[in-house]
């Protein structure tokens, strides 16, 4: 990893978990957000740099149709969320990419939009994929109401009352985004062009800013509608209740291929998190402040687990594991953990690994990192990636060296049988309608000949077989001349040699695959909570629940 | 449950809107469209990804990358490269994608670009070799000069974009023999751009015609699958979104 030479704690390397443990879907599907998550990084920066926020435009009618502009004004640059509210009939409301209309649509504008810009955006943003934005825009997104809760909150506030706290907690958000498009999509700015800005360097910062400002918009909109209905009698949302609301997100398979298509980025995210855990474990002692911070984080994790609901059988079992595991951990920490002993964090982690289910282990990881900002926050600078530089194949590598890399880093792939119905049960493809990534059943569905190259394990095994009998001294450049079909995976094998966490070490076309495991891993890096699968490939989550609003940021202590 | 609460019954993609001077695509859009089109045209995924990347690279250099890629894809079938020290002889017009990839892969090997020059016989749309020779230069840590017809371009050693005095003349030759050499520092023909990478977006060429877009999109759509009802339903939630 590019940041390794600058590590202030070289001894941490000995404590790092390896890819065979970390890069399994059974563990990636138990990922929890940490202080390195992208929304946490963004909030820390906004606070540290004293960003200011205002809402120069608010023009909504009694039905919630209109436009608003929310500005985030930084030391060097300003970004504006441009929000459009629509009157959406219930029968049009769908979270799927196949939808053509939404309750609200958004774009993050680079700077302060003029009226001319707003008119241009008003003609395009509400159309989403069917519209066109420009390099002045950094994201394009939309949201749908959480219908029952939204209605309830408006009704109560209009009557001068607060909404039912239980109902708020159960859903957790007033609106959920159903897609947040970034880098270059539909004409938006190329990430390469804005990534040089410090505030945009970390992954998904434009998207996170857009969603955070969207959260403020959702509250402003319910309060506006309550005022329209209740006039002077209407109440504003109680700040504590408001704080507990996030923005929901509804997402499906479209997100899963990302982790496979961006191996260097995946490595850098995983490596940063693993290095953070290793640094915590490598400490000789535990400072009282860190112990206190850890206990607070553990208590918060237990509270979160208690409030986290899902009806999905897989997630229900995981939540049970999580709650029990965290209870056991809290009891152990209180009664048995020798925090004054040698390497107490490492001792704690070893206990966690031995006695807790994976779901709780990963939650403890987040809690252990939490009080160690000074030690780990610098790692956030290592979570972006120059993916283009990693794309070049080293043609001078010998076939013998390539074979060794396959044996060392793809043993999980070579051990798998792909000629059985279970081993290659699925295939990933792009649907003709709306160009949505999907997962098909090979035995019963048409289209496997147009499969996307996400079957990494099978490709690695095929490359290994093709190398059989080839002269070990031959440079891979010559091998590729005769075998261009192996170019895709050969590049990945070379990438994995330098980036140990670049590859998910599981069969992505196997019968046992749960795509939601891939989604959970990615969403945890975003900072998502309340992971709630609605099927094996569709999930709802919450972002920014419990986080400050723009108006809170300046007066609160950094987190 | 309503399987399709809002099915637009729409197949395929819609062209980006014409803003008066043609369609305007971002670099990631050119790269994504180019990748899918190259795959749809029959290249392996590993090659197609680099074809899309090359189209985006050319656009960043101020050239119509998407249109050049379409020209390359239309020119099939083409001869594969035959790397040999000093001279890559052709059995027919050579494919610039396969040849470009081979040049990049062979950088530092006896057959590839390096201290001695390489002559590559009759390549179709030699401009398409540029991104790959640029990578070879970065791999070698030395600038490489490409010369074909009356064009000479220096690809800097640090991966920076070349400075093109006259993009139209670089784009023009449909077929040419290309010589690739490490230039004499005193005779470098084009000034080497000062920045390691041009991240400003200046000079980017994202305008393409509707016809080019449609042809690339037709190829790209060859990579897609008509959905079964089952898969369409399974891709979403199992309940209504109206809750």
Beta sheet of B118-124, edge-to-edge order? B87-88, B118-124, B175-181, B144-148, B151-155
B6 pLDDT band (50/70/90 cuts)? very low
Residue B139 to residues A488, B60, B132, Cα–Cα distance (Å): 19, 20, 10
Mean pLDDT, residues A198-210 taken together: 97
Residue B196 pLDDT = 39
CB of A129 within 8 A of CB of A148? Answer: no
* pLDDT tens digits for range A380-390: 999 999 998 89
Inside any domain, residue B40: yes
Pick from B75, B54, B77, B74: which is nearest to B66 by CA?
A: B54
Q: Are A190 and B27 within 8 A, CB to CB?
A: yes
Task: Round to whole Å and give the CA distance between A525 and A521.
Answer: 7
Residue A555 pLDDT = 77
Residues 46-85 of A with CB under 8 A from B: none
- How many Å lie between the alpha carbon of B152 and the closest alpha carbon of chain A? 24
- DSSP code at position A508: T
* pLDDT tens digits for range A15-34: 999 999 999 999 999 999 99
Task: Round to whole Å and give the CA distance between A174 and B226.
Answer: 35
Which of B55, B225, B243 should we substitute to test contact with A (largest number of A Cβ atoms within 10 Å)?
A: B225
Task: Round to whole Å and give the CA distance between A518 and A537.
Answer: 9
Between B5, B43, B221, which is nearest A93 by CB?
A: B5
| A331-345, A472-486, B175-189, B217-231: the lowest-pLDDT one | B175-189
- How many Å lie between the alpha carbon of A284 and the closest alpha carbon of chain B? 42
Inside any domain, residue B196: no
Residue A412: is its pLDDT beyond 80?
yes
Residue A535: is its pLDDT beyond 80?
yes
Residue A57: is its pLDDT beyond 90?
yes
Residue A182: is its pLDDT beyond 60?
yes
Residue B197: is its pLDDT beyond 80?
no
Residue A4 pLDDT = 56
Percent share of chain A, pLDDT over 90? 86
Task: Round to whole Å and give the CA distance between A38 and B1.
Answer: 35
Inside any domain, residue B174: yes
Which of B236, B239, B240 should we substitute to test contact with A (largest number of A Cβ atoms within 10 Å)?
A: B236
Inside any domain, residue B198: no
Token output for B131:
């991104």
Tell the residue number behind the tokens 């070893």, with chain if given: A350
Task: Round to whole Å and give the CA distance between A544 and A215.
Answer: 8
Mean pLDDT, residues A391-418 taken together: 97
User: Collapsing DSSP states into helix, strand and coil, what is residue A303?
Assistant: helix
- The kind and range of the H/E element at A304 are helix A288-307
| A5-14, A93-102, A474-483, B182-191: the lowest-pLDDT one | B182-191
Percent share of chain B, pLDDT over 70? 80
| pTM (predicted TM-score) | 0.94
Residue A554: is its pLDDT beyond 80?
no
Token output for A169:
């907690």
Tell the residue number behind the tokens 């435009």, with chain if given: A57
**Which is it for strands A246-251 and A173-181: parallel, antiparallel or unpaired?**
parallel
Helix, strand, coil % in chain B, rounded to nearest 5:
35, 15, 50
Task: Round to whole Å and give the CA distance between A345 and A375.
Answer: 14
B10 pLDDT band (50/70/90 cuts)? very low
Higher pLDDT, B227 or A513: A513
Task: Round to whole Å and give the CA distance between A322 and A310.
Answer: 13
CB of A393 within 8 A of CB of A490? Answer: yes
Mean pLDDT, residues A74-80 taken together: 97
User: Collapsing DSSP states into helix, strand and coil, what is residue A354?
Assistant: helix
Q: Are B225 and A488 within 8 A, CB to CB?
A: no
Assess A94–B contact: CB distance below 8 Å, yes or no: yes
Residue A6 pLDDT = 63
* pLDDT tens digits for range B98-117: 999 999 999 999 999 998 99
Pick from B166, B220, B221, B168: which is nearest to B31 by CA?
A: B220
Mean pLDDT, residues A349-357 taken together: 98
Between B14, B139, B199, which is nearest A392 by CB?
A: B139
A98 pLDDT band (50/70/90 cuts)? confident
CB of A25 within 8 A of CB of A504? Answer: yes
Assess A192–B contact: CB distance below 8 Å, yes or no: yes
Mean pLDDT, residues A110-131 taken together: 95
Inside any domain, residue B144: yes
Assess A311–B contact: CB distance below 8 Å, yes or no: no
Burial of B196 (0-12, 13-18, 19+ CB in 10 A): exposed
Residue B192 pLDDT = 43
Token output for A219:
């509250």
Strand segments (E) across A434-528: 437-441
Mean pLDDT, residues A44-72 taken together: 97
Task: Round to whole Å and give the CA distance between A523 and A251.
Answer: 10
Residue B20 pLDDT = 67
Residue A315: is its pLDDT beyond 80?
yes
Q: Which residues constitute the domain of residue B223?
A: 23-190+204-230
Which residues are CB-neighbours of A50 under 8 A, at least 6 positions away? A75, A554
DSSP string, B78-137: -BPP---TTEE--SSSBPHHHHHHHHHHTTTSTTSSSSS-EEEEEEESGGGGHHHHHHHH
User: Where are the alpha helices (H) located in A132-204, listed in sequence order?
Assistant: 147-158, 165-171, 191-194, 198-201
What is the number of alpha carbons within 13 Å of residue A150 lying toward its C-beta? 22
Percent share of chain B, pLDDT over 90? 66
Which residues are CB-neighbours of A135 under 8 A, at least 6 positions away? A110, A187, A188, A189, A190, A193, B26, B201
Chain B environment of A488 (Cβ under 8 Å): 44-46, 49
Chain B environment of A481 (Cβ under 8 Å): 80-81, 83, 102, 105
Residue B127 pLDDT = 97
Residues 329-388 of A with CB under 8 A from B: 388
Mean pLDDT, residues A182-204 taken together: 92
Percent share of chain A, pLDDT over 70? 98
Residue A46 pLDDT = 97
Q: Are A135 and B135 within 8 A, CB to CB?
A: no
Inside any domain, residue B84: yes
* pLDDT tens digits for range B130-166: 999 999 999 999 999 999 999 999 999 988 899 888 8
Assess A473–B contact: CB distance below 8 Å, yes or no: no
Inside any domain, residue B199: no
Residue A183 pLDDT = 87
Residue B237: is its pLDDT beyond 50?
yes
Inside any domain, residue B37: yes
Task: Round to whole Å and give the CA distance between B177 and B189.
Answer: 19
Q: Are A93 and B242 within 8 A, CB to CB?
A: yes
Evaluated on CA atoms A7, A8, A12, A13, the torsion sign reads positive
Q: Return the number of CB contacts < 8 Å for A and B.
A: 213
Tell the residue number behind the tokens 């939404």, with chain if given: A102
Instruction: Tell me if the bond preceding A380 is cis, omega within 30° of 0.
Output: no
Assess A443–B contact: CB distance below 8 Å, yes or no: no
What is the domain count for chain B?
1
* pLDDT tens digits for range A138-153: 999 999 999 999 999 9
Chain B environment of A402 (Cβ under 8 Å): none
Q: Are B225 and A447 within 8 A, CB to CB?
A: yes
What is the SS3 string spanning A49-60?
A: CCCEEEEEEEEE
Task: Round to whole Å and give the CA distance between B113 and A395.
Answer: 12
B223 pLDDT band (50/70/90 cuts)? very high
Chain B environment of A101 (Cβ under 8 Å): 6
Residue B5: is its pLDDT beyond 60?
no
- The CA-based angle A478-A479-A485, given to 5 degrees, is 125
Q: Are A488 and B49 within 8 A, CB to CB?
A: yes
* pLDDT tens digits for range B61-77: 999 999 999 999 999 88
Between A250, A480, A535, which is nearest B105 by CB?
A: A480
Which residues are CB-neighbours of B162 under 8 A, at least 6 positions away? B61, B130, B134, B153, B154, B155, B156, B190, B193
Residue B42 pLDDT = 96
Mean pLDDT, residues B172-180 taken together: 95
Residue A125 pLDDT = 96
> Can you tell me the ipTM of this complex?
0.92
């Amino acid at each position: 990893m590019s940041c390794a030479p600058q590590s202030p704690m070289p001894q941490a390397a000995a404590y790092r978990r390896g890819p065979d443990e970390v890069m399994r879907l059974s563990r990636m599907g138990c990922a929890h957000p940490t202080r390195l998550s992208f929304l946490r990084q963004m909030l820390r920066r906004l606070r540290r740099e004293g960003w200011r926020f205002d809402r120069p435009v608010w023009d909504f009618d009694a039905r919630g149709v209109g436009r608003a502009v929310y500005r985030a004004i930084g030391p060097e640059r300003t970004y504006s969320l441009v929000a459009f509210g629509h009157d959406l009939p219930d029968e049009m409301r769908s979270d799927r990419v196949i939808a053509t209309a939404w309750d609200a649509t958004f774009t993050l504008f680079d700077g302060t939009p003029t009226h001319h810009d707003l008119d241009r955006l008003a003609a395009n943003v509400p159309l989403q994929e069917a519209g066109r934005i420009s390099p002045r825009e950094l994201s394009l997104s939309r949201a749908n109401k959480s219908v029952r809760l939204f209605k309830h909150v408006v009704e109560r506030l209009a009557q001068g009352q607060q909404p039912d706290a239980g109902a708020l907690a159960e859903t957790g958000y007033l609106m959920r985004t159903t897609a947040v498009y970034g880098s270059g999509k539909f004409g938006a700015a190329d990430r390469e062009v804005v990534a040089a800005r410090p505030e945009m360097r970390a992954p998904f910062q434009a998207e996170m800013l857009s969603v955070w400002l969207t959260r403020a918009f959702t509250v402003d909109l319910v309060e506006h509608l309550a005022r329209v209905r209740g006039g002077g009698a209407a109440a504003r949302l109680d700040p504590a209740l408001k704080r507990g609301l996030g923005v929901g997100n509804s997402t499906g398979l479209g997100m899963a291929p990302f982790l496979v298509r961006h191996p260097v980025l995946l490595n850098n995210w995983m490596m940063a998190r693993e290095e953070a855990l290793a640094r915590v474990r490598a400490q000789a002692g535990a400072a009282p402040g860190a112990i206190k911070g850890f206990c607070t984080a553990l208590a918060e994790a237990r509270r979160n687990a208690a409030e986290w609901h899902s009806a999905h059988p897989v997630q229900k079992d995981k939540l049970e594991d999580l709650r029990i595991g965290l209870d056991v951990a809290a009891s152990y920490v209180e009664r048995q953990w020798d925090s004054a002993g040698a390497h107490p964090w490492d001792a704690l982690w070893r206990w966690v690994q031995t006695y807790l289910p994976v779901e709780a282990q990963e939650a403890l990881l987040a809690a252990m990192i939490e009080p160690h900002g000074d030690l780990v926050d610098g790692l956030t600078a290592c979570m972006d990636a120059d993916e283009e530089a990693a794309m070049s194949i080293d043609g001078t590598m010998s076939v013998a060296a390539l074979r060794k890399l396959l044996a060392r880093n793809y043993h999980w792939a070579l051990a798998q049988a792909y000629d059985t119905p279970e081993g290659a049960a699925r295939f990933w493809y792009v649907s003709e309608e709306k160009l949505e990534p999907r997962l098909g059943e090979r035995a019963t569905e048409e289209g496997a000949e147009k499969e996307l190259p996400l079957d990494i394990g099978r490709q690695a095994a095929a490359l290994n077989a093709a190398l059989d009998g080839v002269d070990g001294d031959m440079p891979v450049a010559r091998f590729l001349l005769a075998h261009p079909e192996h170019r895709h995976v050969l590049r990945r094998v070379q990438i994995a040699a330098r980036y140990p966490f670049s590859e998910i070490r599981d069969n992505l076309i196997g019968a046992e695959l749960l795509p939601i495991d891939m989604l959970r891993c990615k969403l945890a890096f975003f900072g998502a909570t309340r992971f709630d699968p609605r099927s094996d490939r569709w999930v709802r989550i919450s972002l920014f629940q419990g986080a400050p609003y723009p108006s809170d940021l300046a007066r609160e202590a950094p987190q | 449950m309503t399987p399709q609460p809002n099915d637009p019954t729409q197949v395929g993609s819609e062209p980006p809107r014409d803003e008066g001077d043609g369609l305007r695509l971002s670099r990631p859009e050119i790269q994504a469209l180019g990748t899918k089109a190259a795959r749809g045209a029959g290249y392996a995924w590993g090659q197609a990804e680099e074809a899309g990347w090359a189209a985006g690279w050319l656009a960043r250099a101020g050239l119509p990358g998407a249109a050049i890629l379409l020209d390359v894809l239309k020119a099939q079938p083409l001869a594969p490269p035959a790397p040999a020290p000093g001279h890559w002889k052709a059995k027919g017009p050579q494919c610039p994608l396969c040849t470009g990839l081979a040049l990049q892969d062979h950088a530092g090997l006896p057959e590839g670009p390096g201290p001695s020059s390489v002559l590559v016989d009759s390549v179709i749309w030699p401009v398409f070799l540029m991104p790959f020779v640029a990578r070879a230069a970065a791999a070698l840590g030395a600038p490489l000069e490409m010369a074909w017809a009356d064009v000479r371009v220096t690809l800097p050693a640090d991966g920076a974009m070349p400075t093109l005095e006259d993009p139209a003349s670089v784009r023009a030759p449909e077929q040419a023999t290309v010589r690739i050499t490490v230039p004499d520092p005193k005779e470098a023909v084009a000034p080497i751009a000062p920045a390691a990478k041009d991240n400003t977006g200046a000079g980017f060429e994202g305008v393409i015609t509707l016809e080019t877009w449609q042809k690339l999109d037709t190829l790209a759509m060859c990579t897609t699958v008509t959905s079964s009802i089952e898969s369409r339903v399974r891709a979403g939630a199992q309940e209504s979104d109206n809750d």
